[in-house]
A = this chain, B = another copy of it.
């Protein structure tokens, strides 16, 4: 793993939103004695003492200031925000966050969206203003079939939860990947076939050059009319310009988006005012400092004792 751990090593912490202080505190709670500091405040001789970066959307160029860096730990399941840094030291391993808490939260978000769509929660809310319920058809969950694009930790977790809820699903991966007890297919031809028989599509793919823009007119055209799209991958998976036309044509009946090309979603974006689009601010699997710090502390210990951290990214594939 390159150079040895420096003496008196420092963990450089960065996050957006509330800033790094909550993360520093949570990490110290889990790993008493750790020297963890906000990444942007580290300077001078201390730069050489940083062996681990724990970050979410660290400004580009900051990683390159740490000559003895041993591990770049993402605060999140995705690592695209790290790979996009052109000055990133390419030899330093990157770890995604694999936290069972986040998988559960992600599954809850997706299950909620699927059930809201299937059981027409919005329609019934709308009837409240009329003080009257028209006759409505019964919900038949046997008609649901969920295509799960991406069968990593999150996709597998979702698949098992849907099975427990008696909702059929099939996972899809670009390259073959067997996951015990989970129905799955792989490759482009199998995707086309899967889409024709799926009325719900959930995107949990990593963002790579191969998956960017995968949710666009071509994919929508293969779905049965009135399908439901859930994007909880990355904003870059969706061709945003293609969504409203697909809704207007009836190809899609609704979409639930937790991620956007630009976050937070610009205030003049057309998604805000479209009733068919549920939008949430990247909260499907928010990281929980108290549970994530357990994972971070373990990875710091491993990297400092010559072990292998969990969640290491294959730098060749990019996820």
Listed in ascending order, the chain A residues whose CB lies under 8 Å from chain B are: 17-18, 101, 104-105, 107-109, 111-112, 115-116, 118-119, 121, 124-125, 128, 131-133, 135-136, 138-142, 160-161, 164-166, 264-265, 267-268, 272-273, 278-281, 283, 286-288
Question: With A and B bound together, what is the CA distance between A136 and B18 in angstroms?
Answer: 10
Which of B124, B165, B267, B281 is close to A107, meaning CB atoms less than 8 Å apart? Answer: B165
Complex Cα distance, B272 from A125, in Å, reads: 10
A14 → B minimal CB distance (Å): 17
Cα(A101)–Cα(B138), bound, Å = 11
Chain B contacts for A116, CB-based, 8 A: 112, 116, 121
A281 to B18, CA, bound (A): 42
Give the residue name and chain of the B residue nearest to A157 (CB).
B166
Chain B residue at smallest Cβ distance from A108: B115
Assess whether A112 is in contact with B109, with CB atoms less than 8 Å apart: no
How many chain copies does the complex carry?
2
Using A124-B281, A161-B164 as known contacts, list a sample of 18 further A-B pairs with CB atoms less than 8 Å apart, ordered by residue number in A: A104-B165, A104-B166, A108-B141, A112-B115, A112-B116, A112-B121, A116-B121, A119-B283, A124-B280, A128-B279, A131-B272, A132-B264, A133-B281, A136-B281, A138-B286, A164-B164, A164-B165, A165-B165
Measured CB to CB, the closest approach of chain B to A154, in angstroms, equals 14
Are A139 and B286 closer than 8 Å at their CB atoms?
yes
| A to B CB contacts below 8 Å, 14 in the list | A101-B142, A104-B165, A104-B166, A105-B141, A107-B165, A108-B119, A111-B111, A111-B165, A112-B116, A112-B121, A116-B116, A128-B279, A140-B288, A164-B165
Closest residue of chain B to A131, judged by CB?
B267
Identity of the chain B residue whose Cβ is nearest the Cβ of A267 in the assembled complex: B131
* Known A108-B139, A118-B108, A119-B112: A128·B273 in contact at CB below 8 Å: yes
